[in-house]
A and B are shown apart, each in its own frame.
Chain A
Amino acid sequence: MRRAGCWLAALAAWATGAVAAPDPFPSTYQPIAAPPTLIRNAIVLDGAGRRFDGADVLMRDGKIVGVGPGLAADGATVVDAQGRWVTPGLIDVHSHLGVYASPGVDAHSDGNEATDPVTAGVWAEHGVWPQDPGFETALAGGVTTLQVLPGSANLIGGRGVTLRNLPATDVQGMKFPGAPHGLKMACGENPKRVYGGKGKAPSTRMGNVAGYRQAFADAEDYRRQQEKYQRELTEYEASQSGSRGRKGSDAKPPVPPKRDLRLETLVAAMAGEIQVHVHCYRADEMAIMLDLAREFGFKVAAFHHGVEAYKIADRLATEGVCGALWADWWGFKLEAYDAIWENLAFVDAPANGCAIVHSDSDEGIQRLNQEAAKAMVRGQRAGLDIPPERAIRWVTSNAARSLGIDGRVGTLEPGKMADVVLWDRDPFSVYAHAERVYVDGALIYDRAAPSATPRSDFLLGQPAGGAK
């Protein structure tokens, strides 16, 4: 009982922004111990905008030690990378691996709690099946970190989770330690189609916006209750400690408000503890969502899909909002009709522009490098200066920024987690393969040794064979 009381007090403190949220499903991820490794003589794109030719990359104790020519091996395992390329591990900010796992049977439909337009209380991690074979094919594409999000049926679909792409029997074993949760919101056609089709609100874009606003207004009210409780608790504790045994004896402790998981999530988003990711295609709707965010005091980390992001590239850059985009998906619905090849390049162009290649696909996540390549070349042909060392940021450091983990991954700067991909050639090529993928300095994928690479339980013993 006392423990519960402490926990509630901690929760209340968290609700007022005093401390970070306690995670009831904490990460148990442990980096795999690995000897130091020196990748020798590669073309290195460091994810921070630099390119090094003929450089070495040294990893030790799971961290990047340095990038540069002629580093001392000092006992490290040496990998000759002559003529090959090195990048940071790739990061996909929009995946449904695990929540829409392969095979795509009914039992694996765990990504949309499409029973209410606001389900901010659901967490994607509780739907993630770690045996999805898509994790290992993504790894073969160089993906070391990914955010798994709820789908876009709902206005507010729930919390996303950032994962390390390593095999584990439970999702806690994959959770990126200390990474903030994401909040998935959705604009436009999907929510109004899903609920309008059921004869419920929202059935229009008007209904969509009213739905977000009411949810956040409720969260403000919830926050006020939490704050009030926190004040009363503080007064009570002061009265207890200041006048022990006398006046305090007949004072009663305040009763904490009933927890509301939906509103807890929204309060945390407003407190900046959760990164807000908004599925939104049209420029005009993104502009409305930016105003909405200002009304309730939260920040949009990234617009996802953003097929029209190029139309408001300057505003996105000014407000520090990333665009998580495809290279070429379009036309499957009207809000995706105005696609252009140059979307990523145009969003990237302004100062502080933040373009991200995302997948939303178990196929696309396997070749984020190729998607970036397609977008890069179109930008170049439109006259923008986008060398590979710039474009690689779209699948590394910019992605890390939108997930709130840019201090830890996304570049090969010293001290960063040693997530490293060794490519057999320029990764901006359809022919490129990830030869080796390191996570926290440990070799997790080796194209030359397929038997040593992760393999889902699901594929074992299937007479028809497994994914390859």
Chain B
Amino acid sequence: MSRPTRRRMLALVLGVIAIPPAASAQDVLIRNATVHTVTERGTLERSDVLVRGGRIAAVGTNLDAAGAAVVEAKGRPLTPGLFGGITGLGVVEVSLEQSTVDYAPPKADESHGPAVGPRPEFDVTLAFNPQSAVIGVNRADGVTSAMVAPAAQAGAAVVSGQGAVARLDGRADAFAAQSRTLFADLGVGAPASGVGRAAQFMLLDQAVREARPTPQMRDADFRLLTPAGREVLARYLSGGRIVFAVDRASDIRQVLAFAQRHGARPVILGGAQAWQVAGLLAQAKVPVILDPLVNLPGSFDQLGASLENAARLHQAGVRIAFTYLNDGTHNARKVRQAAGVAVANGLPREAGLAAITANPAEIFGLGAEQGRIAVGQVADLVLWSGDPLEVTTVAEQVWIDGRPQSMRSRQTELRDRYRPRAP
């Protein structure tokens, strides 16, 4: 679609007033919105957001378009683009079709190296396909970035590999280097759980020894990691970010101790019992990425799971972000509903929005760049039909880097083909 056509489409959808050609495709003035800044400024009624060259240039009232396209928000809410959580976006198309699944490290067998070994060198971002239809579906519902993460898989014991945060506008170079993250799985949910959690920590400690060998170690002492794995793990141990998928409070304590021992920066993923150690997490400044919908003991590690997990962690001063654990890839968009449910169960409204915008950006080292509506941030924005956390609200328009994104997807194409005929 050519630029003018797209703009006309946008005008039809949004009631845009007539405008002169913009100086750049990445300039836009969004006028008269309820602006959820996710900053100390809070929510600004009847305010404008000016985007220049893909970045936010001003947030205020009566801003001058100065040649930029103008979108009349008519008071509707404007938020930062949503962070879709921990996903397989772009690395899995159809979960049960192996030929479309690229986010699992190799299974353990003799041709792939050590029989049961952590594989920190596995880098899922190499498989990223920005043209995945799954991305388009989620983007049309307001998801503008997400962590693309390796999947836990039997054979890649404990450490499953690296991921990074992708921008979801179809660009080839989608990943920000500073968002790179190592993923580890512990407890019941760990793929090597056949060996039990003590063995998991044993493997983790052995991996650390191999990544940071002492001069006394001989070749025979290197049993777990490949040379590439040693190199990568050593890098993450020196202040790198490691996401530990873990639910049980006792395991969270072990993770905190491990991280302190080895100098890594941990992030807890899952954390069904995290509220029970909220004080510790706050003190250690360790964030938690959780699914607010988890309130049943899906495993013995999740006894005490609560709809109030998010509210309690926030109250204790823990930085929280949300993910949808059931199918966080195809339904990454469901983080918005999850945030609404957390708010319905005691989390302040602005904290609910922060948990799917600014907080995950901070957790993954991108806070200065994205996740808020503030001058200098990238213009990843969503204009909503109503309350951004409400299930009856839909995204009216999505921008990434100030460019209006197509609001069509494979699903809207199917909808329009099969739309009921008028009676």
Most buried by A among B295, B304, B420: B420
Q: Which residue in A311, A337, A431 is a CB contact (below 8 Å) of B344?
A: A431
Residues of chain A contacted by B333 (CB below 8 angstroms): 328
Interface: A462 (CB within 8 A): yes
A448 to B404, CA, bound (A): 46
A105 to B326, CA, bound (A): 17
Q: Which residue in A102, A189, A334, A367 is a CB contact (below 8 Å) of B341?
A: A367
Of the stretches A233-241, A247-255, A368-376, the one at the interface is A368-376
Can you report 18 A-B residue pairs in the complex whose CB atoms are below 8 A from each other?
A: A105-B299, A313-B420, A329-B327, A329-B331, A330-B331, A340-B412, A340-B415, A341-B411, A373-B391, A376-B392, A378-B394, A428-B391, A430-B343, A430-B344, A431-B390, A458-B297, A466-B304, A468-B308
A310 to B412, CA, bound (A): 13
Is A384 within 8 A of B337, CB to CB? Answer: no
Is A311 within 8 A of B418, CB to CB? Answer: yes
Q: A465-B303, A466-B303, A467-B296 in contact; A370/B330 too (CB < 8 A)?
A: no
Is A462 within 8 A of B331, CB to CB? Answer: no
Is A349 within 8 A of B300, CB to CB? Answer: no
Is A468 within 8 A of B420, CB to CB? Answer: no
Kindly identify, within residues 304 to 344 of chain B, every residue whose CB is under 8 Å from any CB belonging to chain A: 304-308, 326-327, 329-331, 333-334, 337, 340-341, 343-344
Q: A330-B330, A465-B304 in contact; A346/B418 too (CB < 8 A)?
A: yes
Interface: B354 (CB within 8 A): no
Chain B proximity mask over A356-385: 1 for CB below 8 Å, otherwise 0: 000001110011001001101110011010
Is A328 within 8 A of B297, CB to CB? Answer: no
Interface: A104 (CB within 8 A): yes
Interface: B389 (CB within 8 A): yes
- Shortest Cβ distance from A465 into B: residue: B304
Is B276 within 8 A of A464, CB to CB? Answer: yes
Chain A proximity mask over B92-121: 1 for CB below 8 Å, otherwise 0: 011111000000000000000000000000
Residues of chain A contacted by B93 (CB below 8 angstroms): 331
Taking the nearest CB of chain B, how far is it from the CB of A320, in angstroms? Answer: 18
Q: Which residue in B97, B296, B392, B418 is a CB contact (below 8 Å) of A377?
A: B392
Residues of chain A contacted by B96 (CB below 8 angstroms): 189, 193, 332-334
- Shortest Cβ distance from B97 into A: residue: A334
A379 to B247, CA, bound (A): 38
Interface: B215 (CB within 8 A): no
Interface: A295 (CB within 8 A): no
Residues of chain A contacted by B226 (CB below 8 angstroms): none
A119 to B298, CA, bound (A): 27
Is A430 within 8 A of B341, CB to CB? Answer: yes
Interface: B293 (CB within 8 A): yes
Is B299 within 8 A of A104, CB to CB? Answer: yes
Interface: B177 (CB within 8 A): no
A342 to B94, CA, bound (A): 21
Q: A331-B329, A370-B337 in contact; A467/B295 too (CB < 8 A)?
A: yes
Is A384 within 8 A of B420, CB to CB? Answer: yes
Chain B proximity mask over A380-397: 1 for CB below 8 Å, otherwise 0: 011010000000000000
3 closest residue pairs by CB, A with B: A465-B304, A430-B340, A331-B330
Residues of chain A contacted by B297 (CB below 8 angstroms): 102-103, 133, 458-459, 466-467
A376 to B95, CA, bound (A): 27
Interface: B302 (CB within 8 A): yes
Q: A373-B391, A429-B390, A430-B389 in contact; A349/B420 too (CB < 8 A)?
A: yes
Most buried by B among A329, A350, A430: A430
A376 to B394, CA, bound (A): 12
Residues of chain A contacted by B340 (CB below 8 angstroms): 430-431
A381 to B392, CA, bound (A): 11
Residues of chain B contacted by A350 (CB below 8 angstroms): 420
- Shortest Cβ distance from B417 into A: residue: A311
Interface: A338 (CB within 8 A): yes
- Shortest Cβ distance from B326 into A: residue: A363
Considering only CB atoms and an 8 Å cut-off, how many residues of chain A contact the other chain? Answer: 56
Is B94 within 8 A of A105, CB to CB? Answer: no
Interface: B134 (CB within 8 A): yes
Residues of chain A contacted by B298 (CB below 8 angstroms): 102-104
Seen from chain A, the residues whose Cβ lies within 8 Å of a Cβ on chain B are: 102-105, 133-134, 137, 189, 193, 310-311, 313, 328-334, 337-342, 346, 349-350, 361-363, 366-367, 370, 373-374, 376-378, 381-382, 384, 428-433, 458-459, 462, 464-468
- Interface majority SS (helix, strand, loop, mixed), chain B: loop
A332 to B307, CA, bound (A): 26
Interface: B26 (CB within 8 A): no
Residues of chain A contacted by B392 (CB below 8 angstroms): 373-374, 376-377, 428-429
Interface: B12 (CB within 8 A): no
Q: Which residue in B97, B134, B341, B391 is a CB contact (below 8 Å) of A333?
A: B97
A151 to B329, CA, bound (A): 24
Taking the nearest CB of chain A, how far is it from the CB of B357, in angstroms? Answer: 17
Q: A374-B392, A431-B340 in contact; A382/B419 too (CB < 8 A)?
A: yes
Residues of chain B contacted by A340 (CB below 8 angstroms): 411-412, 414-415, 418
- Shortest Cβ distance from B341 into A: residue: A430
A468 to B276, CA, bound (A): 14
Kindly identify, within residues 256 to 278 of chain B, every residue whose CB is under 8 Å from any CB belonging to chain A: 273, 276
Q: Which residue in B293, B341, B394 is a CB contact (below 8 Å) of A381?
A: B394
With A330-B411, A361-B326, A373-B392 known, 16 other A-B pairs at CB within 8 A are A137-B295, A137-B296, A332-B94, A333-B95, A341-B415, A346-B418, A346-B420, A374-B337, A374-B391, A459-B297, A464-B248, A465-B276, A466-B303, A467-B296, A468-B295, A468-B304
- Shortest Cβ distance from B415 into A: residue: A340
Interface: B281 (CB within 8 A): no
Interface: B157 (CB within 8 A): no
Interface: B38 (CB within 8 A): no
Is B330 within 8 A of A462, CB to CB? Answer: no
A374 to B341, CA, bound (A): 14
Is A328 within 8 A of B389, CB to CB? Answer: no
Residues of chain B contacted by A370 (CB below 8 angstroms): 337, 391
A103 to B303, CA, bound (A): 9
Interface: B249 (CB within 8 A): yes
Is A103 within 8 A of B94, CB to CB? Answer: no
Taking the nearest CB of chain A, how far is it from the CB of B81, in angstroms? Answer: 19
Residues of chain A contacted by B134 (CB below 8 angstroms): 331
Is B415 within 8 A of A362, CB to CB? Answer: no
Is B307 within 8 A of A468, CB to CB? Answer: yes
A340 to B415, CA, bound (A): 6
- Shortest Cβ distance from B349 into A: residue: A431
Taking the nearest CB of chain B, how far is it from the CB of A218, in angstroms? Answer: 31
A189 to B297, CA, bound (A): 29
Taking the nearest CB of chain A, how far is it from the CB of B411, in angstroms? Answer: 5
